[in-house]
Structure 1
Amino acid sequence: MAAEAQRAQVSIRACEIRDIPAVAAIYRHAVLTGTASFEIEPPDEAEMLRRREAVVSGGHPYLVAESGPTVVGYAYAGPYRPRPAYRNTVESSIYVHPEWHGRGAGRMLLSALLAAAEERGFRQIVAVIGDSGNEASIALHAALGFTHAGTLRSVGWKHGRWLDSVLMQRALGPGDASRPTG
């Protein structure tokens, strides 16, 4: 019951420019204290705004989760790779404020991101999860239909240790059952 009440307090919407300070703060914490991102130095708000604009201007979804007026997480689906053959595949990124971990905001964000990417006609979504020890992220993706596609061992060095990247993948819409329309 308490978890349902917490989920009810969260709504998902498109990220707006006014959300960038909160998005940057959430990401800053993840960069400095975690292993989900392999960045070492957190980007400033101007860089986070530039990144958001690149995602949105490319027709990709960029969402925030908010509780009241407070942004508690964000997620986006950006281009998987720049070459044209990859244009129907996106890569997901999702970050939640540490006080909101385990409270349903991540599941709501990822579910909404999957729907938004599918609505835009994308056919595959790939998650590149930093650190094979990130069990919560791996479990969340698996619960929403992602399957394990591989593990790249010891490809990142952060916080004094080698880190893996876990690749997970999920079809969107008809996936590869038919030719893309675009």
Structure 2
Amino acid sequence: MTPPKATIRPAVHADLKAVSDIYAHYVHHTVATFDETPRSAADWGQWLDDLTGRGLPFLVAEVSGAVAGFAYAGPWRPKPAYQYAVEDTIYLAPDATGRGLGTALLSPLITEATRAGRRQMIAVIADTGSDASAALHRRFGFADAGRLTAVGHKHGRWIDTLLMQRPLSEPGPDHERGLPPAERRR
């Protein structure tokens, strides 16, 4: 597999129509997402602003001047105790799959989430019958953390989700390594 020449960069508002179109494909035609209504470009704009306001990465893969995929690290759960855990999300344009763009996006996503002071990255992968997403995550050190059976129902079928987890930074002896500098003991 020869990956296309891709530029991986932070998403900007001008990218969000393409992001919306890519995601809409998965909403309408797959069970990779449990959303049943696509998000508008304006919705994506609010999400981009929220993530960047939290210091979290939202990246796009650009190939030949067009957005061919996107990835972001979003909050794992809304409760404060989960603030150092993020969930990764990666979607590729339907004609851009299987060419190495997932790898090209996940590597810098992990780096940027680590720089943002997060300690754990979690992948929630719908069991679509393909192992591609799980295999991608395993290549980056994610380990199986569990399976939730028949938790989603979409397109007339019940879907399991595979949970995978990867440490971004290890706690030090005082369990503070990985905290943002402002929260470390001096």
Give the alignment's TM-score, normalised by structure 1: 0.92
Task: Supply the distance in 2 between the matched residues of 1:85 and 1:95 (Cα, whole angstroms).
Answer: 28
Amino acid at match of 1:106: G
Task: Supply the distance in 2 between the matched residues of 1:154 and 1:77 (Cα, whole angstroms).
Answer: 25
Consecutive unaligned residues of structure 1, counting only runs of 5 or more, are: none
Pick from 6, 27, 37 the counterpart of residue 31 of structure 1.
27
| Residue number in structure 2 paired with 1:110 | 106
Task: Supply the distance in 2 between the matched residues of 1:148 and 1:118 (Cα, whole angstroms).
Answer: 20
Q: Percent identity?
A: 43
Task: Supply the distance in 1 between the matched residues of 2:14 and 2:8 (Cα, whole angstroms).
Answer: 15
| Residues 129/73 of structure 1: CA separation in 2 closer, same or farther (3 Å cut) | same
| Residues 175/130 of structure 1: CA separation in 2 closer, same or farther (3 Å cut) | farther
Task: Supply the distance in 2 between the matched residues of 1:175 and 1:138 (Cα, whole angstroms).
Answer: 26
1:153 equivalenced with 2:149 (yes/no): yes
Using the TM superposition, give the Cα deviation of residue 176 of structure 1 relative to its aligned residue in structure 2, in angstroms.
Answer: 7.2
Pick from 156, 164, 170 the counterpart of residue 174 of structure 1.
170
Task: Supply the distance in 2 between the matched residues of 1:82 and 1:92 (Cα, whole angstroms).
Answer: 15
| Residues 175/140 of structure 1: CA separation in 2 closer, same or farther (3 Å cut) | farther
1:83 equivalenced with 2:79 (yes/no): yes
| Residue number in structure 2 paired with 1:72 | 68
Query: CA-atom RMSD, angstroms?
Result: 1.5
Number of residues of Structure 1 aligned to a counterpart in Structure 2: 178
What SS class does the counterpart of residue 145 from structure 1 fall into? coil
Using the TM superposition, give the Cα deviation of residue 132 of structure 1 relative to its aligned residue in structure 2, in angstroms.
Answer: 5.3
| Residues 50/137 of structure 1: CA separation in 2 closer, same or farther (3 Å cut) | same
Task: Supply the distance in 1 between the matched residues of 2:80 and 2:130 (Cα, whole angstroms).
Answer: 31
Give the alignment's TM-score, normalised by structure 2: 0.91
Q: Which runs of 4+ in 1 moved over 6 A?
A: none
